[in-house]
Structure 1
Amino acid sequence: MRTVRLVDLQPLHVAPASQAWASPVEAPLSLAWPPPIGSEAAEELMSEMRAAYRGAMASAPAPSNETPVPRLPKGSVTRLPVVLNASARDYAGIWIANLLLTVLTLGLYLPWARVRVQRYFLRRTLVAGSALDYHAPPTSHLPRYGLVMALVAGVLGACLGSPLAGLLAFSMALAVAPLAVHTSLSHRMAHTSWSGRRLSFEGRFTAVYGALLMPLVGLVAAAWLTLAGATFHHPMWWMALGFVIALWLLGVPLFLWTYFHYRQERLHLGPLRLGWKASPVAMVMLWARTAAWSVLVSSLVVGLGSMVLGALLWWQGPAHGRWAWGVVAVSMMAVAVAVTPYVQARLQNLVWSKTGNRSLRFRSRLSVQGYVLLQVRHAALLLLTLGLYWPWAVVASRRMRTEALTVWARVDTEVLKAHWTPFADTPAGLAAKRRASA
């Protein structure tokens, strides 16, 4: 064994930078002992390394989740139509089968019925000539359906025990509701594809609580104030309940704007992330128009209902108020039939006309008047046919809403597909392919 003492080692020196060598091969190995830890030289070396790292990070490009997709020349925009090729007769067969199986299984067939309906309509919806599709297996809906049924059963069982227990259960169910909304959006978009390319919804579940917190708090407060008013019989509780309800109704535009901002901002079409540019003022104006339309329709319906009720009382005489309750119920249904499609049409035009990015945007031109008249006609036909007209009403309504959409694109569809991973190449797509082959 040979022993080497540290004092026998000679310090290594770095060759001067100014010394020139004929070739890199002729240059001697330049090494130096690192400065001792804690010395001034070591601190200077670490400062230089930190400065170099900060400079490198500052000059590096900012990270981006989106893959850049080449756009068309400036000023070139392609309008891509959206077409629905569904048949009311074909959907009627699916609807009857789903209804019978759901009744026979006491509701257990609902996930399978939902998947059949989604696949039927999406596979017949064409965007730029390519069809949408839905790939979720029915069994994937079972956990969410089980959770909803458990919450409903828990709330009903607690209400049978005592009003206080029922209200506590109702409050706990509302606390879980935002998580169910986020799971539903993520699951639906993750299993929807266009031209074999998967769509996605990216966002943390904590964001949905920020979007739905205020309306849920208002509902819980109104429920607790109702229980307090019924228990203590003091006018103060009913005054507080009226104040909370009025405040909640005034906040509906902000609630809607917050929810749609949360939903639309997290939609991804492959490499393209969508955005939503609607302002809260636009939602307030939509709510004001809806309120004005509701007052107008209610006034008209109340006037006609009063005339009908007066004629019935004159013809039949006093009937202990049974005609009055029937006329009130029919009047409320008539108001809902006229107001609900009005809100749906206005919301679709506002939400989707403000959705998009620099490469792709949506436009919705759904006729509010035409859609309201269509739903009024459907309501009359459903009443005359005792509900058998339902498949034809669903197909006609969905076709009108779908074909009112247009996609304005500054990217070529083939170029977008080339930058978009096909659904069959994703883990979910491979699993679906294995299930289909099995």
Structure 2
Amino acid sequence: MPHFTLVCPVCNFSKELDTNSLPPQGTKVTCPACRSVFPLQTEEPPADPATAAAPPAADGEAAAPAAPRKPIPEKPRTLTFSFTGNAREYFGIWIVNTLLRIVTLGLYSPWAKVRKRRYFYGNSLLDGAPFDFLADPWAILRGWLIAGLFFGAYSFASRANVIAALAFMLLFFAIFPWVVVRSRIFNLRNSTHRNIRFGFDPDYREAYRVFLWWQLLVPFTGGVLMPYVIYRQKRFLVENSRYGTTPFRFHAAAGEYFRIFLPLLVLIPLGIGTGVAVALLFKGDKFAAAVPVLIFALIYPITALYVQTAFTNLTWNSTSLGKHRFRCSLRVRDLAWIYLTNAAAVLLSLGLLAPWAAVRTLRYRLGHLTASGVGGFDAIIAASQQQIDATAEELGDLLGFDLGI
């Protein structure tokens, strides 16, 4: 019985198959070893006309040169992101993580963090191939203990001496750019796709410019400089990141970030004016004083969600990797509905529906993210990596800083 040897172009896994049961030429197959998706090639590629032997010439005549082959241009295609996890699977991980954190007084947190990320990474697919998170929980535990000691010393100092607490705050502001860089290095070097690691090239001088010096100028400009600071921070995080040896590129201009804030110049004064007008119109009414508070409680989350969504879309839409350009199409009304119903479900279930809310949100976000370009990501060369300490990432996590794009 004739056989055909199927070889994965990514990990070189091979398997003997019966030729009578093979699917048609070009069918996409999934490697059982690395889960890579590639087209089935059962036929030998045609000979290159440029190198094929020319037909024999007649006696006394020179052989005719072979006609050069015209390169066939690759057709652009769109690679989609997707999430294949479900709330039932993640609930099992979440409840075990929660119980073990309680039993171990928090010492299980590094293992809980790795289990959670591996589940979400492993179920997040790009062009059918999953991501992976490779961090060592013991490395995270060391960083977690150091960060915990720092936070504990700050808490003690804030109760004992105001000057000591201020000194700790100044110390953290001084090392914050370093924390950003080291956290980014740790997260990306422990993230892979198709067995190729991501990476981050440290530039501490630029980090101090965009995460410290420029931010110190924001209060002196009445907040007007904030869009430019955010633009510089996003550009720094994107352009120093890479996949293997291929760097990410950032194409946005500062003016695009300023335009996001233009609607707020109308919305915020309108809300404040409405609240003041109602308070003056019903002066003396005990409920009139609550109107400005209610208006603020309504406008603030809408404004924050609009700004966050606009920044996310603009940052992804301005990012490219190799020949691929990313496209993000999140909508404010969709996210508002998801966050509102998630909050209601978590509250009414006393927190038990938190896994469902997390899975639902991530599925929506990945479902609205694509990468369009020529070819795939599997041809990118993997870069050599070195181990990096997790202290900076845990310090950032403990103090609540979001260091992602």
Q: What TM-score, normalized by structure 1, do the two folds share?
A: 0.63
Equivalent residue for 1:361?
A: 325
Structure 1 counterpart of 2:309, one-letter code: A
Aligned-pair CA distance for 1:264: 0.3
1:225-244 matches, cutoff 5 A? none
1:27-106 matches, cutoff 5 A? 76-106=75-105
1:153-180 Cα deviation digits (max 9, x unpaired): 2222222222222112111111112211
Distance 1:116 1:369, change over 3 A: same
Equivalent residue for 1:394?
A: 358
User: Any conservation in 1 of the 2:200–2:241 contact (CA below 8 Å)?
Assistant: yes
Matches of 1:268 and 1:373, distance apart in 2: 34
RMSD: 3.5
Matches of 2:380 and 2:240, distance apart in 1: 19
Aligned-pair CA distance for 1:345: 1.8
**One of 229, 235, 238 as aligned partner of 1:264:** 238
Q: Percent identity?
A: 25
Aligned-pair CA distance for 1:385: 2.7
1:31-430 matches, cutoff 5 A? 76-214=75-213, 217=216, 245=219, 247=221, 249-289=223-263, 292=266, 335=299, 337-357=301-321, 359-410=323-374, 412-413=375-376, 416-421=377-382
Matches of 1:93 and 1:304, distance apart in 2: 50
Distance 1:303 1:391, change over 3 A: farther
More strand by share: 2
Aligned-pair CA distance for 1:187: 0.8
User: Any conservation in 2 of the 1:290–1:342 contact (CA below 8 Å)?
Assistant: no
5+ residue gaps, structure 1, are 1-71, 219-243, 315-320, 429-438
Distance 1:142 1:336, change over 3 A: farther
User: Any conservation in 1 of the 2:246–2:322 contact (CA below 8 Å)?
Assistant: no
User: Any conservation in 1 of the 2:271–2:295 contact (CA below 8 Å)?
Assistant: no
Matches of 1:390 and 1:294, distance apart in 2: 32
Aligned-pair CA distance for 1:194: 0.6
Matches of 1:301 and 1:76, distance apart in 2: 56
Aligned-pair CA distance for 1:275: 0.8
1:117-150 Cα deviation digits (max 9, x unpaired): 1111110011011111111111222343234323
SS at the partner of 1:250? coil
Distance 1:135 1:245, change over 3 A: same
Aligned-pair CA distance for 1:333: 6.0
Matches of 1:266 and 1:335, distance apart in 2: 36
Matches of 2:278 and 2:124, distance apart in 1: 41
Structure 1 counterpart of 2:154, one-letter code: V
User: Any conservation in 2 of the 1:276–1:355 contact (CA below 8 Å)?
Assistant: yes
Aligned-pair CA distance for 1:73: 6.1
More helix by share: 1
User: Any conservation in 2 of the 1:144–1:180 contact (CA below 8 Å)?
Assistant: no
Structure 1 counterpart of 2:169, one-letter code: F
Equivalent residue for 1:40?
A: none
Aligned-pair CA distance for 1:246: 6.5
Matches of 1:380 and 1:254, distance apart in 2: 36
SS at the partner of 1:397? helix
Aligned-pair CA distance for 1:336: 5.2
1:320-378 Cα deviation digits (max 9, x unpaired): x9xx69x95x8766555434432332121100100015511111111222112221222
1:215-265 Cα deviation digits (max 9, x unpaired): 5536xxxxxxxxxxxxxxxxxxxxxxxxx7463622221221111111000
User: Any conservation in 2 of the 1:273–1:357 contact (CA below 8 Å)?
Assistant: yes
Distance 1:293 1:78, change over 3 A: farther
Matches of 1:77 and 1:331, distance apart in 2: 48
SS at the partner of 2:242? strand
Q: What TM-score, normalized by structure 2, do the two folds share?
A: 0.68
User: Any conservation in 2 of the 1:337–1:379 contact (CA below 8 Å)?
Assistant: no
Structure 2 counterpart of 1:338, one-letter code: I
5+ residue gaps, structure 2, are 1-70, 388-405
Structure 1 counterpart of 2:188, one-letter code: M
Matches of 1:263 and 1:391, distance apart in 2: 29
Structure 1 counterpart of 2:238, one-letter code: Q
Residues matched between the structures, number: 315
Matches of 1:289 and 1:98, distance apart in 2: 42
User: Any conservation in 1 of the 2:114–2:137 contact (CA below 8 Å)?
Assistant: yes
Aligned-pair CA distance for 1:195: 1.4
Distance 1:211 1:120, change over 3 A: same
1:367-398 Cα deviation digits (max 9, x unpaired): 22211222122223333333332211111111
SS at the partner of 1:150? helix
Equivalent residue for 1:51?
A: none
Distance 1:134 1:285, change over 3 A: same
Distance 1:182 1:292, change over 3 A: farther
1:4-42 Cα deviation digits (max 9, x unpaired): xxxxxxxxxxxxxxxxxxxxxxxxxxxxxxxxxxxxxxx
Distance 1:88 1:246, change over 3 A: farther
SS at the partner of 2:106? coil
